[in-house]
Structure 1
Amino acid sequence: MIETNRCRMTKVQNRDYKKVGELYSNERVKKFLGGIVSDERFHGSFDDMINCDENSFYFVVRLKDNNEFIGLVLLDKQTS
């Protein structure tokens, strides 16, 4: 877990499926994901987040005050 004064980042877990799915279906977010993401594609992507290798880290970001979901962060090792 990573914490700031206002936020908490924790590894993505199965219980985050609904909130991460809402993020992926958000109209404003879709344009950065390359367009519409099908349910099947999202399910596969979420599974990859849960079962990522040691070079990738997926975190959900929540406010500390009320545990409100505010985002998703990916940290990935850059390869040449």
Structure 2
Amino acid sequence: MWGERLVETKRCYFTLITLDDYYDVKSLYTNNKVRKYLGGAIKEEKFDRIFPCMVQKATHTWVVKEKKTEQFIGLITLDRHHNGIDTEVSYLLSPRQWGKGYACEVVKEMITFAFENLKLPRLVAETQTANEASCYLLEKLGMNHEKTVTRFGAEQRIYAIYPEKG
């Protein structure tokens, strides 16, 4: 199961995160551009403490790689939302991959996977209102803005999508 391509898109594949992904994942969490709307970059020492936990609970934490080159693109997760009820899709992509359509491709496939394989009744995503690119992406993928909350000292939009009927 480890290293197995569990989900694939036209250009990418997802594998469960492993300890071997340390440097790639660290490059996301310690990057100010990537973490701009997530409270800023995490210090290396803190990342070293949280990374083993990420791997240990990796049931729905995937590393995304480009099929042709095997190049690291980012990370996508399905995890419990802050409300303790819903499942949230979240993603972090390497800045080298921004603007190439990977976010749309990857998140769209994860929505499909969540509904078809996991049979989830709904899926949410939360992003800072200031993160216009992420808001646009979620809306483009058919997620509806349900409410706005203040969390982590910033205004957040909560989006939701339901499986298509029929």
What TM-score comes out, normalization by structure 1 length? 0.84
1:75 aligns with 2:78: yes
How much has 1:26 moved relative to structure 2? 1.9
Partner of 1:27: 32
1:60 aligns with 2:55: no
Percent identity, aligned pairs only? 37
Structure 1, residues 19-51: CA drift from partner, whole Å, max 9, x if none?
111111222112133113111211122111111
Partner of 2:20: 15
Which has the higher mean CA deviation after the structures are superposed, 67-76 or 34-43? Answer: 34-43
- The aligned amino acid for 2:56 is N
Partner of 1:50: 55
Greater Rg by CA:
2
Alpha-carbon distance in structure 2 between the residues aligned to 1:30 and 1:45? 16
Q: Provide runs of 4+ in structure 1 moved above 2 Å.
A: 77-80
Structure 2 residue ranges without an equivalent (≥5): 1-5, 86-166
Structure 1, residues 44-74: CA drift from partner, whole Å, max 9, x if none?
2211111117xx5110000000100011011
Aligned partner (choices 41, 46, 50) of residue 46 of structure 2: 41
- The aligned amino acid for 2:75 is L
1:3 aligns with 2:8: yes
Alpha-carbon distance in structure 2 between the residues aligned to 1:29 and 1:71? 10
Structure 1 residue ranges without an equivalent (≥5): none
Which has the higher mean CA deviation after the structures are superposed, 59-68 or 34-43? Answer: 34-43
SS at match of 2:49: helix
What TM-score comes out, normalization by structure 2 length? 0.43
